[in-house]
Amino acid sequence: MTHDCSMCAWIGLDSMVCSLLFLLLLCCASYISQAYKPVFIVHGLFDGPKEFKTLTKFIQKSHPGTEVTTLDLYDGLLSVKPLWTQVRDFRAKLEARLNQTKEGAHLLCFSQGGVICRGLLSVMPNHNIHSFISLSAPLAGQYGNTDYLKKVFPKYLKKNIYKVCYNKLGQQLSICQYWNDPHHRDKYLKYNNFLPWINGEKQHQYINNWRDNFLRIKKLVLIGGPDDGVITPWQSSLIEMKNQEYYRSDVFGLKTLDFRGDVSMCVQSGVAHVQWHSDSTVFTNCIQDWLT
């Protein structure tokens, strides 16, 4: 925006009034650009930034001037890399951006990305994430036959996946690190080196620090629905809250957040898994109000 005195003269304004008007417009432009916190999106299994163009448009239309960034890491087939490796690299990229954001930011995470974000919020001690919006993510684990599963394990049914996942080699695949077979819980707790750790189902030396880190968020938004078709059981996207021991014992802070009134759950029927980030009703009903 430039200060054009000739334009002011043409419409009959003296130079002082013109200067004041220019400053007012400049302040308004600055306010609009800074009114909304930036949004960082973490994609899911086999996804990448291109899948979130529609969601980005929704955000920028409803909240003009919002900076929206889909973190471009581990796209496509690379998304099966070990989750701790992904958390490490997403953390490096995210923290560099958060350090430039004094007012905080929102973290919007889809599917497997939600599990990654749970890890990020556990290990980042000084983060300034305001809202963590989990969009159809298997936060309580995954156990079901889906097309996604067949891409990774074409020869196995869900009842046999534990044989592949619950060992050191299997834990090199991201999906194995949140595979939660209720029929083999002893093996899940023994071998799974990600989900039981971040959900506090296993005692470890970082558990209190991770709880403190997670509780830095101001709002947890859990979104899912019965017609998802991929997240199985679909209630995993809501962390199956009060039925879980980790809620009752509050090991990672979920009960505290809930008692603070800082947990919001949004259930939407008729939404398939790949539609969550491009469905305008989901955005309006479940996401829009938290991105201020």
DSSP string, 196-249: HHHTTSS--TTHHHHHHHHTT-SEEEEEE-TT-SSSSSGGGGGTTGGGSHHHHT
What is the value of pTM for the model shown? 0.87
Using DSSP's 3-state secondary structure scheme, residue 251 falls into coil
Write out pLDDT tens, residues 205-214.
999 999 999 9
Structure token digits, residue 103: 């007012």
In a domain, 203, yes or no: yes
- Residue 142 · residue 237 · CB < 8 Å: no
pLDDT above 70: percentage of residues in the chain: 88
Query: In this structure, is residue 18 part of a structural domain?
Result: no
Which residues on neighbouring strands pair with residue 8, listed in sequence order? none
Q: Token pair of 289, please? A: 């109000």
Which residue has tokens 């951006």? Answer: 97
Indicate the range of 2-11, 12-21, 267-276, 279-288 predicted with least confidence.
Answer: 2-11
Residue 145 near residue 235, CB atoms below 8 Å: no
For residue 11, being part of any structural domain is answered with no
Report the distance separating Cα 244 and Cα 256, nearest Å. 14
Apex 252 CA angle, 246 and 253, nearest 5: 100
Mean local confidence (pLDDT), 220-227: 98
pLDDT given for residue 155 in this prediction: 78
The residue-averaged pLDDT of 99-120 equals 95
Looking at residue 23, its pLDDT comes to 62
DSSP type of residue 131? E
Establish if 68 belongs to a structural domain. Answer: yes
Q: What is the pLDDT of residue 33?
A: 46
Whether residue 43 lies inside any domain: the answer is yes
CA distances to 39, 75, 86, 258 from 72, rounded to whole Å, are 14, 7, 11, 32
Bigger pLDDT: 42 vs 20: 42
From residue 9, give the alpha-carbon distance in Å to each of 12, 14, 21, 24, 45. 5, 7, 13, 18, 59
The 10s digit of each residue's pLDDT in 164-217 is 999 999 999 999 999 999 999 999 999 999 999 999 999 999 999 999 999 999
SS3 263: strand
State mean pLDDT over 85-98: 96
With bands split at pLDDT 50, 70 and 90, how would you rate the model's confidence at 151?
Answer: confident
CA–CA gap between residue 159 and residue 175 (Å, rounded): 15
pLDDT band at 29 (very low <50, low <70, confident <90, very high): very low
Quick one: pLDDT band at residue 30, thresholds 50, 70, 90? Answer: very low
| pLDDT over 60 (residue 127) | yes
Q: What is the mean pLDDT of residues 78-103?
A: 95
Catalytic residue from among 47, 106, 122, 228? 228
Q: Determine whether 186 is an active site residue.
A: no
Backbone angles phi, psi at 29, to 5 degrees: -65, -40
Residue 16 lies in a domain: no
For residue 14, count other CB atoms closer than 10 A to its CB. 10
In terms of residue numbers, what domain contains 52?
Answer: 38-290
75 is catalytic: no
Q: What is the CATH number of the domain that holds 60?
A: 3.40.50.1820
Q: Which of 106, 127, 273, 277 is catalytic?
A: 273
The reported pLDDT for the residue numbered 152 is 84
- The pairing of strands 68-70 and 39-42 is parallel
Active-site hit among 43, 79, 111, 122: 111
Q: Is the pLDDT score of 10 beyond 80?
A: no
Mean pLDDT over 40-54 rounds to: 97
In a domain, 223, yes or no: yes
- pLDDT for 154 equals 83
In a domain? residue 26: no
Known active-site residue 258: no
Average pLDDT value for the chain: 91
Return the residue matching tokens 């995210």: 94
Nearest-angstrom CA–CA distance, 209 and 270: 39
Does residue 2 carry a pLDDT above 50? no
Average pLDDT on 113-125 reads 98
Count of domains forming the chain: 1
Which two structure tokens, joined as six digits, stand for 43?
Answer: 């994609």
Angle between helices 207-214 and 112-123 (to 10 degrees): 110
